[in-house]
Amino acid sequence: PIKAVILVGGPSRGTRFRPLSLNVPKPLFPIANQPLLYHHLAALADVPGLRDVALIGFFEDAVFAPFLDRVHLDFPTLNVRYLREYQALGTAGGIFHFRDELLRGNPRYLFVLHSDIVSSFPLQQMVAAHAARPQGALCTMLATRVPAETTQRYGCIVAAQDGQVLHYVEKPEFYISDLINGGVYLFDTAIFNVLAEIRAEKAAAAAALAAVEWASSRDSLNSYDSAPAAGATQLRLEHDVFKQLAGTKKLFAYESHEIWTQLKSATSAVLANTLVLQHNKRRRSASICVESLKGPQVVGAVSIHRSAQIHPTAKIGPNVSVGPRATVGPGVRIKDAIILDGVDIKANACILSSVIGWNSKVGKWARVEGTPTEATATKLMDHGHKTQTSTVIGHEVTIADEVIIRNCIVLPHKELKASYRDDILL
């Protein structure tokens, strides 16, 4: 059998995803009208022999409970559970901590997926690729190409012709390669022996360091304040594991040419949504892409929740999702956007390259926009907070009639009565 882990992180993280993460933890943010993790689970459900999925993170248990109650209806073959770390243990630390649980039933392979990515998740291809590797291969990693100027944000891979990872450098300062770690790994469960060794080495090194520090600070009054072993509990795949495996014929890359992006900042949600909608449309995934038959003009990849009300004279798409109970008035134009639950868009408003938060209201003839998509796809990756490429509106914001909001981030509960551009509205 094969098991799977999704690393969901926890509440101390995801600050860049504000204001959208104020309502919902990022792993549950709706992409193409489904929680982000739903797309991971849909791919896992298609892998033969895969039944057990563990979400590992340091959120409160209650955070995922409603989602978990629902997923077994959508994926009856999967047994999905949440395993909570008592603190952030690192990308390998949680997996190691729950090793008994994960190894129960003697699985041959373990998939590990980051939560904060969208991908076509070519999991079965990864299994096939891994099976063709020489004996002793411990990991096949999803790899993808990104624009050269963005590579320092990722784990960079230098691979041989046969896919063997020769060098792995996490977030290098200088350009090494545009082939990067895509955040999906297939491990042979023999990896747990390696994790145990690395952990023991780290613990020994930390203890030695602590002894030196203790000896040198013996005279100071505060010598008992420090907790020397704390650093040893974090175990990171990127820093502690992949580097060691590179160049030893144990780590391989599987390069995907299909959709992939990271979901870090709130502004990156529009691109993530676009890629998933387009991917689903190509696969004609009817369950996710509900196209309304009666009325509104729908262009390209669009997902409209069946409880949304769209006026027949509105034009929607491409790359738009409209959430539950949203209402869209006459003459409205929406393109490259995420309209969340309960949003109310009045007549003739125009929404481009934007996320409109839960229960927000957009007035008549108002315009809410980011920069156009062609630019978004490339520029999104380069900019942090200062130049927003999409506009992101938090929940319960009211936008007055006829105002223009361009390239802004708007925090919840604001009332915007004037126009703004290139701003963060607190």
Q: Which residues pair with 185 in a beta bridge?
A: 112, 141
Residue 116, interface with ligand GDD (CB under 6 A)? yes
Q: How far apart are CA 419 and CA 361, in angstroms?
A: 15
168, 158, 162: which is closest to 245 by C-alpha? 168
Residue for token pair 């387009």: 278
Give, in order, the Cα–Cα distances in Å from 145 to each of 154, 184, 230, 282.
11, 14, 36, 21
Instruction: Give dist(CA 268, CA 16) in Å, integer.
Output: 10
Max CA pair span of the chain: 80
The CA distance from 44 to 115, in Å, is 13
How far is the C-alpha of 389 from the C-alpha of 371, rounded, in Å?
5
DSSP string, 292-331: --SSSEE-SSEEE-TT-EE-TT-EE-SSEEE-TT-EE-TT
- Partner from ligand GTP, ligand GDD, none binding residue 25, C-beta < 5-8 Å depending on class: ligand GTP
The answer for residues whose C-beta is within 8 angstroms of residue 212's C-beta and 6 or more apart is none
Site string for ligand GTP, 256-285 (x = CB under 6 A): --------x---------------------
Verify binding: residue 25, ligand GDD, rule CB under 6 A: no
Binding segment for ligand GDD (CB under 6 A), chosen from 109-117, 319-327, 368-376, 408-416, is 109-117
Among 21, 115, 319, 348, binds ligand GDD (CB under 6 A): 115
Q: Which does 30 bind (CB under 5 to 8 A by kind): ligand GDD, ligand GTP, none?
A: none
Nearer to ligand GTP, 118 or 159 (CB): 118
25 binds ligand GTP (CB under 6 A): yes
Q: Please state the closest distance from residue 316 (CB atom) to ligand GTP, in A.
A: 28
What would the two tokens of residue 172 be?
């290098």
Contact between 231 and ligand GTP by CB under 6 A: the answer reads: no
Binding-residue pattern over the window 175 to 204 for ligand GTP, x denoting contact by CB under 6 A? ------------------------------
- Return the range that interacts with ligand GDD (CB under 6 A); candidates 62-70, 177-185, 286-294, 333-341: 177-185
Q: Is 370 in the site for ligand GDD (CB under 6 A)?
A: no
122 is in the binding site of which of ligand GTP, ligand GDD, none (Cβ under 5 to 8 A by kind)? none
CB of 62 to ligand GTP, least distance (A): 12
- 16 contacts ligand GTP (rule: CB under 6 A): yes
Minimum separation from the CB atom of position 12 to ligand GDD (A): 9
Region label for 106, one of left (φ > 0), alpha (ψ between -120 and 50) or beta (otherwise): left
Residue ranges that bind ligand GDD, judged by CB under 6 A = 7-9, 56-57, 85, 88-91, 94, 114-117, 154-155, 170, 180-183, 238, 262
